[in-house]
Amino acid sequence: MRNRRLIATVALLALALAVALPALGADPSVPPGPGRGKGPQASKAPKVEVALTGTVRATTDADGKVSYTLTSGGKTYTLDAGPAWFHGDTHPLKAFVGKSVTIAGDSAVGSTDVNVLSVNGTKLRAAGKPPWAGGWKHVGATHPGWSQEKANRFKAKFGDCFPPGQCKVKVHGPEATGSP
């Protein structure tokens, strides 16, 4: 009986030591949580507001992808106003090509990529979640991840109710009015 207790105590101490050692050896200069490791939060640098004045230029690469730029203060900035697949031919920066404008947006510290929020004081989109967010289920056929096959499987599985359990049950017949 005494040997069992001793073995159990040693095993428990070994387990506690195995759990505690990695934490004790961790680098204290690296903060825990988002922004560390893998995933979309890993490479997020702090954002700063930017205000730029200059002429908007458009260039098209060999694949037909249009890029918008603006030179201000001796630097050339790449402008972004949302994914090209979402905007198609109606990209909000297209109307400003060749024009001198003032752009307000944000950029990662040290980057020349600018997320354009407004041009000449006019907002490009409403605040909050962008209209292209939500994946193919929300955006539909214009999303690059959408396919008719996926849409059919999704409808067969969930019908018109997504997320599951969040839709109100439609009651027909006598139960709907409460009469017998």
By DSSP bridging, strand 75-80 and strand 113-119 are: parallel
Give the pTM: 0.54
Residue of 83, 67, 75 lying closest to 50 (CA atoms) = 75
Each residue's pLDDT expressed in tens, for the chain with a length of 180 residues: 677 887 877 777 776 666 655 555 554 444 444 444 444 454 577 889 999 999 999 998 888 888 899 999 899 999 988 887 776 778 889 899 999 999 999 999 989 999 899 999 988 877 777 766 766 666 666 666 667 787 777 777 777 776 666 776 655 555 555 555
Architecture of 47-123 per CATH? Beta Barrel (2.40)
Location of each CATH 2.40.50.140 domain in the chain: 47-123
Residue of 95, 145, 99, 101 lying closest to 119 (CA atoms) = 101
Asked, as a colleague might, if the bond just before 163 is cis with ω within 30 of 0, I would say yes
Phi, psi of 80 (to 5 degrees): -130, 130
